[in-house]
Amino acid sequence: MTIDDIDTALSHHYHLEHLFQSDKSFDKMIDATLLFIEFDELSYLHSYNIDDMLAPKITKSIKYYLSLDSYFQRVGDYQYIILLQNGVSSKELNQLIKQISNIFLEPISINDNLFYLTLSFGVSFSPKEGTTLYTLVKKAKYALKSREKFSQHSVITSEEIFTSTSYLKMTELMKDLPLAIENGEITWEYQPQYDYEKNAYTGAEMLARWKHPKYGDVSPEIFIPLAEETGMIAPLTVKLFIETSHSFKILEKNHINDFSLSINISPVFLMSKTFYTTIDFFISEYDLYHKKLHFEITEQILIKDIYLYSELFDKLKKLNIHIALDDFGTGYTSFNYLSELPISSIKIDKSLIKDIDKNLKNRTIVNAIYHMSQALNLDVIVEGVENSAENSIIKNYVSIKSQGYYHAKPMSLKELILKLIP
């Protein structure tokens, strides 16, 4: 079987059995595993015009670890599939993923430039999840997309997202999502942010929650990507703005005035043509201009066009919106860029905070980020402070804010107000 056979199968959705029937060596194939690989940050490399040079290096590096009965094919911009056949064990699969990940721990050199590449994997299985390449690719790709995949070298299988009734459940959730947004089935909780210097809670992040009548609590890692995929992220964000306006009014009625609310802005919505006009309308229409409103935007989005987003952030700043770079420390933003961006704060990712009392490397990174932020006059918020040991390290910085279970779990607006009132 050739690479062209793979391309044909992807184009015409042939069954695996049909794909392999011309070669007797595949007659006894019982199952298969498909890996969908995506290099996370390579869109920014378009400006270097090195696509033709980079792809062969990636292909050669990965093929080195593949067996003779495995197939490797590029299926999109910086996207590849690997088809493994005939009973690959979970141990063998994990070993292969580890080997491929380790390849890219070192930078790739092209034209005397060094490029650090990170990748994520989505995995699907035949025949349990389908018998066509189209279905397996779709399942593996959905598995990869249906999570916050900004951690480096991550892997997830579709089975980790849904049960064996995954397609049925996914279809139902997709169908029910518009009504859930409309009828208030999706609600918001508030996780307070503690200011060590003021010894008080000075803000909160708003977190979306969906209690489905049939499936119960649906994780945001499932329904947010669904909203993005189905075009429902815009109406969901509109609902969030309305809720934010309402929340500010309730806080003010309880004499809680100097308090910020942070909302997460989906990259899909941020990149839409109507993003700024929508924001401009709601800021004016819902009396949000003079509020302490923060947009949390993941730093990975900046890779696509940091200068374009710098202009957008400037416009948002004129609307009195504060921009926070979320998940900082796991992405690819150069420290040099931070001085050019009109942002107010950075949120250090929880992966750098976990066990910081024991992990000297992470403590050094957090310390460097903190002092760099101080020099740039940026506020710093750390996520994921879960216990007293982690808190004892973080509180030494004084002029820093903390968010995590150690201080407070996400709660209703009513619970938040009770927590804030002396």
What phi and psi values does residue 256 have, to the nearest 5 degrees? -110, 95
- Write out pLDDT tens, residues 229-279: 778 898 999 999 999 999 999 999 999 999 999 999 988 888 888 899 999
- pLDDT at residue 414, as a whole number: 96
Tell whether the torsion through CA atoms of 7, 10, 13 and 16 is positive or negative: positive
| Among 263, 194, 262, residue whose Cα is nearest residue 402 | 194
Mean pLDDT (the chain) is: 80
Q: Are the CB atoms for 201 and 195 separated by under 8 Å? A: yes
Q: Are the CB atoms for 343 and 372 separated by under 8 Å? A: no
Q: Are the CB atoms for 413 and 421 separated by under 8 Å? A: no
Where do the domains of the chain lie, and which CATH numbers do they carry? Answer: 3-161 (3.30.70.270), 168-420 (3.20.20.450)
- Among 23-27, 145-149, 351-355, 390-394, which stretch is predicted with the lowest mean pLDDT? 23-27
In this predicted model, which residue has the larger pLDDT, 154 or 410?
Answer: 410
CA–centroid distance for 370 within its chain: 23
- Among 18-22, 62-66, 191-195, which stretch is predicted with the lowest mean pLDDT? 18-22
In this predicted model, which residue has the larger pLDDT, 380 or 63?
Answer: 380
DSSP notation for 190-230:
EEEEEETTTTEEEEEEEEEEEEETTTEEEPHHHHHHHHHHH
Q: What is the pTM of this model?
A: 0.65
∠406-408-410 over CA atoms, to 5°? 130
Q: How confident is the model at residue 420 (pLDDT cuts 50, 70, 90)?
A: very high
Those residues whose C-beta lies under 8 Å from the C-beta of residue 254, and which sit 6 or more positions away, are: 417, 420, 421
- pLDDT at residue 23, as a whole number: 40
- pLDDT at residue 30, as a whole number: 52
pLDDT at 14 over 50: no
Both tokens of 219, joined, read 């994780």
Q: Are the CB atoms for 153 and 120 separated by under 8 Å? A: yes
pLDDT at 21 over 70: no
- pLDDT at residue 274, as a whole number: 87
Find the helix or strand (DSSP H, E) in which 368 lies: helix 360-375
pLDDT at 170 over 90: no
CA distance 189 to 416: 9
- pLDDT at residue 151, as a whole number: 35
Find the helix or strand (DSSP H, E) in which 403 lies: strand 401-403
Tell whether the torsion through CA atoms of 281, 287, 288 and 290 is positive or negative: positive
In this predicted model, which residue has the larger pLDDT, 120 or 150?
Answer: 120
Q: Are the CB atoms for 369 and 351 separated by under 8 Å? A: no
pLDDT at 294 over 90: yes
| Among 343, 194, 188, 348, residue whose Cα is nearest residue 259 | 194
Of the ranges 37-46, 96-105, 188-197, which is most confident? 188-197
Q: Are the CB atoms for 174 and 146 separated by under 8 Å? A: no
- pLDDT at residue 304, as a whole number: 59
